[in-house]
Amino acid sequence: MTESLNKFPGAMWPQFHRKNDEHLNPYYTFQDYRQTWGMTIFILMMTALLPLVVMTLIYYQLIETSINTESLLRTERLASNARRAVTFFLEERLAALTFTVNEMGYDQLTNPGHLSEVLRNLKLGFGGLTDLSVIADSGTQVTYAGPFNLEGKDYSNQPWFMECQQHSACVSEIFSGYRDVPHIVVAVKSMRPDGRLFVLRATLETERLIQALSSYKTGEHADIFLVNRNGLLQTPSQFYEGESHHMNIPLPAYSDRTRAVMSTDRNGQPILIGYAFIDTTIAPTSFLLMVVKQKAGMMKVWLDLRSNINWFFGVSALIIAIVITLTSTVMVNQIFQADRQKAETMVAAERNCQLASIGQLAAGVAHEINNPLALINETAGYVKDLFTIKQQYKEDPDLLEHIDSIIDAVERCGTITRQLLGFARRFDVQNQPIDLNEMVADVINFHKKEAEYRNIKIHVDIPETIPLIETDRGKLQQIILNLVNNAFQAIANGCFLDIRAEMDGPEHVRLFIRDNGCGISEDHLNKVFEPFFTTKKEGQGTGLGLSITYGLVQKLHGNITVQSKTGQGTTFVVTLPVQIKKESQS
Amino acid sequence: MKHFDILIVDDEQRYADMLAKRLGLRSLTCKVCYDGQTAIDIVGEEFFSVVILDLRLPDLYGTEVLTWIKQCRPETTVIILTGHGTEKDREQCMARGAHSFMNKPLDIDRLVTIMTGIKESYRHD
């Protein structure tokens, strides 16, 4: 569990380690695996998420448009119904007055007893009437029926009276009047028998109108009220009463039919306004019916749903993103690993090829040099023969020493050419079972004296469990000898040499030869197996030891690697098959 | 006592001459020739106790010359002296009847020791 937790950051943010891998760069398929990884994720995300986002946005747009249309329609319907109620309220009362004035005539109406009876009948029939009075064309009240004694009052300056002069009937705005009680005056004009005009006036209670309007209110965010054409509130408004009883939202433009529009309130909140200019068939009025709804309230259901959809969308997108990231990471990582293996194989193949061609060259050089060497050897030998035979020179040790040094030099060159050929040639491998422990002990024996003399500790740890290895004795001996030689040259007196072995799977054995000597610098580490590469002083090494070792290990179908740190020591790791397969031999 | 004649076959003329001189100094008379066909001709005409044969000859392979000599003159001892011969070369030559196989540059004392051995065996015959 913890292991998979530790792997998680790597799976989400892979490293694509390329440190110390610069030599592999030419063989990678992609220059920048992080960029490839990023691009893959980006393209997959876009392909998966973009259509989803676009679809969701279109869906939101459609839903919002349809909700807006529906809300406007509903607001308009509500305003229309309320308008009908208000219009009916006024028309009913105007019609009753018109009927009364035509039926009774001036004489009967000016009779206070009759007028009181009419008032009583009207109250019974319709209700909501406070008083009734007859006013002469001069504006003076002639007869009054009702709870207040207003006889003789002059109405000539009242706006409703002046309007009534022009039309056959009139409806006043809601005003407080002499009694300081909000009311509406409705009046109907008629003719006296003498041809002069008179007006039958009734006062209506506003309570009934307000109640009628309130009954249309739906929801807590809706408001229905009346204003006059200047925006002065006629009935109370729950939310939109501003300064000096004016409503605080803009007055809509005139329209002869009910309409609904979108707007914003003074706080900038979106609202829906349904409105209607109210006119009765008998008389015009100055009323404007307003139905105002807060859009937020109407959208609440949709907003809740949208929030749920957003959550669902967000979680889905997150899951898609994680899946895409993990999948891409795994895929790109696999490509990277495969590429890396390929690159390593290519580099190894290139090095083998290089080593092989250098080997061929070396073989050629060795052959060519060998003939003159042989000739020099024979000539020098001949000269030596001559000197040895002639007594006078035989006594001259100086001369013979020089000749001997020539022959020595030839011998040394001969050794080098033999080594070169050994490196280049493909000797047949002769397999036999070998006890690694015994072989290492044999090789160590060669160096026992030197180790004692130089106080070098040799530690060998080859477990009993290591099986017999079927391989070529001579070559394996040469490999171990070369590596031990190499280590002895690298370490100072008093250091140690550690040789150990372990199984690498059931079919391979790994042999570690570790010293704590001078180490190999990072620059040189890649070159140690190249022929003629040496850091030793001239004349001390041919630079062939490790490349021959490399060739020998390859011949035994094994593998040799080196790890080293300057100043800390070097470890050569030789991996060999327990049994060389027959087919790979051929 | 039989004659003890030696033939040196080597494409490198100066080398062959020089070797002949050195062996001459050690009382071993040598003839020299520089290619395979001449060697076959000479050996066909004349008996040699020992043939010192190089493997790399301009016209024939040393092994062919060796095979021929061992067929026609089975008593003749053949010593192979070559630049770096491989293990395989050595095995082949020994299988075809070569007495010994030596690499250049030559250790003259070893050659002389071998010669002396052969000479001794001849004497006993």
Cα A512 from Cα A487, distance rounded (Å): 12
Report residue B99's pLDDT band, with 50, 70 and 90 as the boundaries.
Answer: very high
Query: Do B25 and A425 make contact, defined as CB atoms within 8 angstroms?
Result: no
Residue-wise pLDDT for A22-37, tens only, equals 777 777 777 788 888 8
Q: What is the DSSP string of A476-493?
A: HHHHHHHHHHHHHHHSPT
* Residues A162 and A135: beta-carbon distance below 8 Å: no
Of B83, B88, B106, which has the smallest distance from its Cβ to A367's Cβ? B83
What band does A357 get if pLDDT is binned at 50, 70 and 90?
A: low
Place of tokens 């491989």: B86
Distance between CA atoms of residues A272 and A249, nearest Å: 11
User: Tell me, what amino acid is at A465?
Assistant: T
Which of A70, A69, A71, A151 shows the shortest CA–CA distance to A110?
A: A151
Comparing A239-248, A293-302, A574-583, the range with the smallest average pLDDT is: A574-583
Instruction: Give the residue from A123, A131, A230, A242 showing the smallest Cα distance to A173.
Output: A230
Answer for the pair A275, A252: CB distance below 8 angstroms, yes or no. yes
The partner residue sitting opposite B84, judged by closest CB among A375, A381, A421, is A421
Identity of the residue in A377, A410, A417 whose CB atom sits nearest the CB atom of B84: A417
- Pick the more confident residue, A541 or A195: A195
Question: What tokens does A284 get?
Answer: 């015009």
Task: Check residue A427 and report its DSSP letter.
Answer: P
Cβ pair A219, A271 in contact under 8 A: no
What CATH number does residue B88 fall under?
3.40.50.2300
pLDDT, tens digit, for every residue of A548-560? 788 788 888 888 9
> For residue A24, which of A333, A346, A338 has the smallest C-alpha distance?
A346
Least confident of A20-34, A155-169, A258-272, A436-450: A20-34
Please report, rounded to a whole number, the percentage of residues in chain A having pLDDT higher than 70: 91
Nearest CA in chain A to B83: A370
Q: What is the CA radius of gyration of chain B?
A: 13
Residues paired with A335 in a beta bridge: none
Asked whether the predicted pLDDT for residue A394 surpasses 90, the reply is: no
DSSP-assigned letters across all residues of A287-326: EEEEEEEEHHHHHHHHHHHHHHHHHHHHHHHHHHHHHHHH
- Asked, for residue B67, whether it belongs to a domain, the answer is yes
Q: Which of A290-299, A416-425, A452-461 has the lowest mean pLDDT?
A: A416-425
Average pLDDT of span A415-429: 63
Helix then strand then coil, % of chain A, to nearest 5:
55, 20, 25
Domain that residue A440 falls in: 427-586
Q: What's the mean pLDDT in A487-491?
A: 83
Measured from the Cβ of residue A271, the count of other Cβ atoms closer than 10 Å reads: 23
pTM: 0.49
Which of A386, A417, A425 comes nearest B86 by C-beta? Answer: A425
- Could you tell me whether strands B6-9 and B50-53 are parallel, antiparallel, or unpaired per DSSP bridges? parallel
Count CB pairs under 8 A between chains A and B: 63
Do A355 and A551 touch, CB atoms closer than 8 A?
yes
Q: Answer for the pair A50, A181: CB distance below 8 angstroms, yes or no.
A: no
Statement: residue B1 has pLDDT above 50: no
Query: Is A559 within the bounds of a domain?
Result: yes
Q: Distance (Å, rounded) from C-alpha A303 to C-alpha A364?
A: 88
Q: What is the pLDDT of residue A428?
A: 47
- Reduced 3-state DSSP string for A233-284: ECCCCCCCECHHHEECCCCCCCCCCCEEEEEECCCCCEEEEEEEEEECCCCE
pLDDT value of residue B38: 93
CB contact under 8 A, B22 and A385: yes
The encoded tokens of residue A148 equal: 């207040």
User: Chain A contacts of B58, Cβ < 8 Å?
Assistant: none
Residue A422 in this model has a pLDDT that exceeds 90: no
CB–CB of A370 and B84 under 8 A? yes
Q: What angle do helix axes B87-95 and B62-72 make, rounded to 10 degrees? A: 20
The whole-number pLDDT of residue A310 equals: 92
Average pLDDT, chain B: 89
Do the Cβ atoms of B83 and A374 come within 8 Å? Answer: yes
DSSP-derived letter for residue A33 is H
A451 in a structural domain: yes
> Alpha-carbon distance A108 to A90, whole Å?
25
Mutual angle of helices A295-389 and B13-25, in 10-degree steps: 40
Q: A9-18, A211-220, A273-282, A414-423 — which is least confidently predicted?
A: A9-18
Q: Which of residues 8-27 of B touch A (CB under 8 A)?
A: 12, 14-15, 18-19, 21-22, 25-26
pLDDT of residue A17: 62
Are residues A366 and B22, on separate chains, in Cβ contact within 8 Å? no
What is the distance in angstroms between the Cα of B23 and the nearest Cα belonging to chain A?
9
Say which amino acid occupies B67: T
Among candidates A366, A386, A411 on the partner chain, residue whose Cβ is nearest the Cβ of B105: A411
Which pLDDT tens digit goes with each residue over A112-128? 888 999 999 988 888 78
Domain of B38 in residue numbering reads as 6-120
- Give the pLDDT confidence score for residue A581 in this predicted structure: 66
Q: Is residue A290 part of a domain?
A: no
Helix (H, G, I), strand (E, B) or coil at B79: strand
Express as a percent the part of chain A with pLDDT over 90: 23
Rg (CA), chain A: 58
What mean pLDDT comes out for the span A351-359?
67
CA distance A153 to A143: 10
pLDDT (mean) for A350-357: 67
Q: What is the CATH number of the domain that holds A562?
A: 3.30.565.10
Sequence-ordered alpha helix ranges (H) in chain B: 13-25, 36-45, 62-72, 87-95, 108-124
How many structural domains compose chain B?
Answer: 1
- DSSP code at position B34: S
Q: What CA–CA distance (Å, rounded) separates B14 from A27?
A: 53
| Model confidence at A224: pLDDT above 90 | yes
Tell whether B1 is covered by a domain: no
Res. A5 pLDDT band, cuts 50 70 90: low
- Would you state the structure tokens that stand for residue B68, as one six-digit string? 């021929």
Q: Exposure of A47 by Cβ count < 10 A (0-12 exposed, 13-18 middle, 19+ buried)?
A: exposed
pLDDT of residue A352: 67
* Residues whose CB is less than 8 angstroms from the CB of residue A542 and which lie 6 or more positions away in sequence, other chains included: A416, A419, A532, A534
Q: Read off the pLDDT band of A542 (50, 70, 90).
A: low
More confident residue, B118 or A429: B118
User: Residue A59 contacts by C-beta under 8 Å, 6 or more apart in sequence?
Assistant: none
When pLDDT is cut at 50, 70 and 90, the band that residue A277 belongs to is very high
Contact A189, A167 (CB under 8 A): yes
Write out chain A residues lying below 8 Å of B22, CB-based: 378, 381-382, 385
Is A447 a member of any domain?
yes
SS3 state of residue A555: helix
Choose the weakest-confidence range: A43-47, A396-400, B47-51.
A396-400
Residue B125 located in a structural domain: no
Any idea which of A104-108, A359-363, B61-65 has the lowest mean pLDDT? A359-363
Which of B13, B108, B109, B112 is the mutation pick for testing A, counting most A CBs within 10 A?
Answer: B108
Gap between the Cα atoms of A171 and A186, Å rounded: 5
- Helices and strands: H and E segment counts in chain A: 14, 16
Cβ-based burial of A314 (10 A; exposed 0-12, middle 13-18, buried ≥19): exposed
Q: Does A410 touch chain B (CB under 8 A)?
A: yes
Can you give the pLDDT at residue A164?
85
How many structural domains are present in chain A?
1
Residue A112 token pair: 């206070």
